[in-house]
Amino acid sequence: MKGRLLPLLAAICLGFGAMVPAAGEKAAHAAEEASVMAVGDVPLGDDGRSRLYPADWYPGWKDGEGRFVHDFSYAGYHRGEKALPTVDPAAGLDVTKAPYNADPSGQTEATAAIQRAIDEAAARGGGVVYLPEGTYHLRPPEGQAYALGIRTSGVVLKGAGVGKTFLYNAATFMKQKDMIRVGGGDWVKTGVSTKLRRSVLEPSALLPVEDAAGFAAGDYVVVTFETTADLLAELGMQNKWASRLGKVEPIFYRQVVAVDPAHRTITVDIPTRYPLKTRDNVTITKAQPPVSEVGLEDFSIANAQNPKSGLGEDDFKVEGTAGYETDNAKAINVIAAADSWIRNVSTYKPAGNETYHILSKGIILDRTKNVTVDNVSMAYPQYRGANGNGYLYQFIGNDNLIARSRAEGARHSFTFANFSANGNVMHDVYSENSSLLTDFHMYLSMANLIDNMTLSGDAISAITRDYGSSPTNRHGVVTTESVFWNTNGLAAHKSKPGLIVESEQFGNGYIIGTRGPVNGVNTQIAGSIPEADTKPFDMTEGVGEGDRLSPASLFADQFARKAQGLRLGLSSLLVDGEPVDGMQFLKTSYAVTLPYGTKTAPVIAASPLAVGASVQIEQPAGPGGTGTIRVTNGSATQVYTVAFVVAANPVLPKSLSVSPDRSERSWRAASDAISAGNEGKLQARITLHNGDIVDPAQSGVHVKFEVDDKRLGGIGHGDVFKAKRTGTATITATAKMNGVTVSGKLTVQVVEPMPEPEGKLAAIRGVSASADDGNVPANAIDRDPASRWSAEGDGQFLLLELEKTRAIGGVSLLFYNGHQRSSTFDVEVSEDGVHYVKALVGAASGKPNPNAAERFDFAAPVKAKYIKFVGYGNELNGWNSIVEIWAHEAK
Query: What is the pairing mode between strands 626-633 and 653-660?
Result: unpaired
Last-in-domain residue among 287, 310, 326:
287
Complete DSSP assignment for 62-127: --TTS------TT-SGGGGTSPPPP--GGGSEETTSTTT---TEEEEE-HHHHHHHHHHHHHTT-E
Q: Judge whether 735 and 741 are in contact, CB under 8 Å.
A: yes
The answer on 821 and 777 residing in a single domain is yes
Number of domains, the chain? 5
Residue 401 covered by a domain: no
Q: Is 650 exposed, middle or buried (0-12, 13-18, 19+ CB in 10 A)?
A: middle
Residue 758 counted as domain residue: no
Q: What are phi and psi of 231, to 5 degrees?
A: -65, -45
Question: Do both 657 and 725 map to the same domain?
Answer: yes
- Is 149 among the domain residues? yes
Q: Do residues 870 and 744 touch, judged by C-beta distance below 8 A?
A: no
Domain hosting 693: range is 653-751
Residues 177 and 324 in one domain: yes
Residue 154 placed within a domain = yes
Q: Where does residue 411 rank: exposed (0-12), middle (13-18), buried (19+ CB within 10 A)? A: buried
Q: What is the pLDDT of residue 782?
A: 84
Q: Is residue 414 part of a domain?
A: no
> Is residue 463 situated within a structural domain?
no
Q: Tell me the C-alpha distance between 549 and 486, whole Å.
A: 7
pLDDT, position 500: 96
CATH of the domain at 230: 2.40.30
Domain containing residue 301: CATH number: 2.160.20.10
453 by Cβ neighbours in 10 Å (0-12 / 13-18 / 19+) ranks as buried
End-to-end CA distance of the chain: 68
Taking CA atoms, 600 is separated from 112, 178, 580, 625, 661, in Å, by 72, 63, 18, 11, 38
The Cα 302–Cα 332 span in angstroms is 11
* 728 and 614 within one domain: no
Spatial distance between the Cα atoms of 4 and 400, rounded to a whole number of angstroms: 19
| Residues ≥6 apart with Cβ < 8 Å to 461 | 437, 438, 439, 440, 502, 503
Looking at the DSSP bridge assignments, the partners of residue 502 are 461, 522
Mean pLDDT by 10 residues, the chain (891 residues): 41 42 40 41 93 96 95 97 94 96 97 98 96 98 94 97 98 96 87 91 96 96 92 90 86 97 97 94 94 98 97 95 96 97 98 96 97 98 95 97 98 96 98 96 94 98 80 83 98 95 94 97 83 87 96 97 93 96 96 94 97 96 97 96 94 91 74 89 89 82 96 93 96 94 95 92 92 83 88 92 96 95 96 94 92 94 96 92 96 81
Question: What DSSP state is assigned to residue 49?
Answer: B
Predicted pLDDT of residue 469:
65
- Based on the domain organization, do 180 and 309 belong to the same domain? yes
CA distance 714 to 722: 5
- Beta strand 837-844 pairing with 796-815: unpaired
Closest by alpha carbon to 440, among 405, 466, 398, 412?
412
Distant-in-sequence, close-in-space partners of 192: CB < 8 Å, separation ≥ 6: 214, 215, 285, 286
C-alpha distances in Å from residue 460, one per residue of 212, 489, 500, 503, 580: 42, 10, 6, 8, 36
HEC per residue, 501-522: EEECCCCCCEEEEEECCCCEEE
Which of 360, 390, 420 finishes a domain? 390
Query: What DSSP string runs through 325-350?
Result: HHTT-EEEEEESEEEEEEEEEEE---
DSSP string, 220-287: EEEEEEE--HHHHHHHT-TTTTGGGTT-EEEEEEEEEEEEETTTTEEEESS--SS-B-GGG--EEEEE
Distances from the Cα of 467 to the Cαs of 421, 473, 494, in angstroms? 20, 8, 21
Report helix, strand or coil for 699.
helix
Crossing angle for the helix pair 554-565 and 7-14, to the nearest 10 degrees: 140
Q: Which amino acid is at 99?
A: P
How far is 368 from 375, CA to CA, in rounded Å?
19
Q: What share of the chain is helix, strand, coil (3-state, %, to 5)?
A: 10, 45, 45
Say which DSSP state 436 is in.
S
pLDDT at 30: 37
875: CATH: 2.60.120.260
The pLDDT, as a whole number, for residue 407 is 98
Which residue, 272, 287, 302, sits at the end of a domain? 287
- Going by C-alpha positions, the residue among 456, 457, 445 that lies closest to residue 481 is 445
829 and 785 inside one domain: yes
**Phi, psi at 779, each rounded to 5°:** -65, -25
Q: Residues 861, 866, 872, 878: what is their CA dihedral angle, to the nearest 10 degrees? A: 140
With beta carbons less than 8 A apart as the criterion, state whether 398 and 368 touch.
yes
Instruction: Give 417's strand partners.
Output: 442
Taking residue 467's Cβ as centre, other Cβ atoms within 10 Å add up to 9
Distance CA 609, CA 81 (A): 14
- pLDDT for residue 692: 78
Is there a cis peptide before residue 551, judged by omega within 30 degrees of 0? yes
Strand partners, 886: 812
Residue 619, domain CATH = 3.30.460
> Do 211 and 301 belong together in one domain?
no
Residues 793 and 874 in one domain: yes
| Cα gap 304→476, rounded to integer Å | 36
Cα–Cα distance measured from residue 454 to residue 17, given in angstroms and rounded to the nearest whole number = 8
332 and 269 together in one domain: no
Distance CA 319, CA 692 (A): 53
* Helix/strand/coil for 171: coil
C-alpha span between 511 and 542 (Å, rounded): 8
Residues 227 and 111 both lie in one domain: no
Q: Is residue 470 part of a domain?
A: no
Element (H, E) at 556: helix 554-565
Which amino acid is residue 160, in one-letter code? A
Q: What is the pTM of this model?
A: 0.83
Q: How far is CA 271 from CA 47, 201, 203, 783, 885, in A?
A: 30, 12, 6, 38, 39
* DSSP structural state of residue 639: E
**Are 295 and 274 part of one and the same domain?**
no
pLDDT of residue 851: 85
Q: Are residues 705 and 636 in the same domain?
A: no
Q: Is residue 247 part of a domain?
A: yes
The C-alpha atoms of residue 264 and residue 698 are separated, in whole angstroms, by 13
Under 8 Å between Cβ of 742 and 655:
yes
Other CB atoms within 10 A of residue 502 CB: 22
For residues 206 and 789, the answer to whether their CB atoms sit within 8 Å is: no
